[in-house]
Structure 1
């Protein structure tokens, strides 16, 4: 029963999930005050204005990293959904402004940022978090810029990052699906809507050729699926995928719920705690998507 899916998923989060996912689930499913989510996110904030401490659970580095800033913005955006002006509150505006200032302080002169820095090498991390993550690129620069435009931020670093992203996109795109997910975020919310529309017509073709794009719901391999790009029926990129494709992936997502109520992951985090933390992240994502499409 659909009620059982939700109840089992919530029970998994209550039992195994981090505070930040539990607080966000309470906002999304129970109507709790989202101020609690801000408090939970703030625990991952550093004095420099960035975020770290394994907010993205695949590395346990306490130092600020761009990927952790991205994760913080995702949590805050989820809590803000349906609440116009939510980011205008001083405590939330300060978090975002300080994060922009930190990004500007670590960016290349052109505005691009990498996912991580070598400081993480002295801490436990998943095998795939290696030196490729130290190279500034569309992942995460485009995605960070898109999220900040969605919030409605004005900042000098964001201006530089936006200009760099446009130049990068218009010089030709040959990227994997993770990067295209970041590009999709940028194109959905960049202020120049005509330019975004003209570039966005190519996204489907780019995805079809991209490594790690899992178009077939029967494929058990790790990858980015259409539901990552269109997690709700009103998502900006829902039109890229036919109804049969979306329904097939929703069927697969529902079937993938484990006996303990959570969803599994298809990669190896650095430890048991990280594994449970990422399972909590994925469980909340699955529940949100299934609810958005009326499956629960």
Structure 2
């Protein structure tokens, strides 16, 4: 069995400290150096606006200072791990109030970003159509709506929306899918699934398993060169394998370990050419984010030797 050894781990740490934002640095310190949790929450809160939503490039690919449901979902991905802290509860309650206020009843969900995203540096896929006032991400209802419903489920005490009806809507939508075109949308459903009670989660499981196993690439060369869903995008710990073959999980673990042994980092597979000018720093931020994400997965599988 292959393990990430101490020297390449230290090189990955250097990558995060050299390229990462203060958020990634504090997360690394918390997860790997017994760093304090409060300062992580404080850093996440620095991206929060007075309306309770998050912006300010917490999602590196759009630099919009104003709040958006998408950026708020990114913040909540972190905050769920710290929600026993009083400071986090206050931040979360404001975020849920923002989501209540930006719910679009006609959509039965949320649009990812406002039109004003166009006024600030952003990757092409985040640009809003000026006439339709939606971006390409909005073609898939579940991204980020399904994920947001998961947070509303977890934090029911802070929302005025009908959470049970929202869960039913998400379930009906997933059940109606005959083809799966967006692995990001299914990732949002996976995050919802992990925040549901066991009985409700069980109702999503068959279709979710089908989606995951349809979308993942089994080709290591594709993992290296193309923007595809890898097994460990969905299976982030030994607790839930979905329908993914354990040998494929092992192959993906070893792929990441070999990448870190060779390069000391995990780089995005999408082109750096998207990050010219004012967007250039986003590339380095992604290197740190993805490297940290992989280290956390390896830690959860017990594959780091320190």
The bucket for the TM-score relative to the shorter chain is 0.7 to 0.9
Q: Which residue pairs with 2:58 in the alignment?
A: 55
Q: What CA distance in whole angstroms lies between the structure 1 residues aligned with 2:63 and 2:291?
A: 20
Aligned residues: 284
- Which residue of the other structure, out of 138, 145, 157, is the alignment partner of 1:141? 145
Q: Which residue pairs with 2:291 in the alignment?
A: 283
The worse-fitting range, judged by mean Cα deviation, of 123-132 and 31-40 is: 123-132
**Superposition deviation, residue 157 in structure 1:** 3.0
Q: Summarize the alignment of residues 16-165 of structure 1 with structure 2, pairs less than 5 Å apart.
A: 16-78=19-81, 80=82, 86-87=84-85, 89=86, 91-109=87-105, 111-130=108-127, 131-134=135-138, 137-150=141-154, 154-157=158-161, 159=163, 161-165=166-170
Q: Which residue pairs with 2:184 in the alignment?
A: 178
Query: Structure 2 vs 1, CA of residues 31 and 292 (structure 1 numbering), >3 Å: closer, same or farther?
Result: same
RMSD: 2.2
Three-state SS of the structure 1 residue aligned to 2:249 is helix
**Superposition deviation, residue 167 in structure 1:** 3.1
**Superposition deviation, residue 152 in structure 1:** 6.6
Three-state SS of the structure 2 residue aligned to 1:57 is coil
**Superposition deviation, residue 148 in structure 1:** 4.5
Q: Does structure 1 conserve the Cα–Cα contact (< 8 Å) formed by 2:79 and 2:92?
A: no
Q: Which residue pairs with 1:167 in the alignment?
A: 172
Q: Does structure 2 conserve the Cα–Cα contact (< 8 Å) formed by 1:263 and 1:279?
A: yes
Q: Does structure 1 conserve the Cα–Cα contact (< 8 Å) formed by 2:209 and 2:242?
A: no
Q: Which runs of 5+ in 1 are unaligned?
A: none
Normalising by structure 1, we get a TM-score of 0.87
Three-state SS of the structure 1 residue aligned to 2:124 is coil
Q: What CA distance in whole angstroms lies between the structure 1 residues aligned with 2:299 and 2:193?
A: 25
1:230 and 2:226 are equivalent in the alignment:
no
Q: 1:143-176 CA distances to partner (integer Å, 9 max, x unpaired)?
A: 1222443567552236153343133223335332
Q: What CA distance in whole angstroms lies between the structure 2 residues aligned with 1:4 and 1:141?
A: 41
Normalising by structure 2, we get a TM-score of 0.85
Query: Structure 2 vs 1, CA of residues 244 and 113 (structure 1 numbering), >3 Å: closer, same or farther?
Result: same
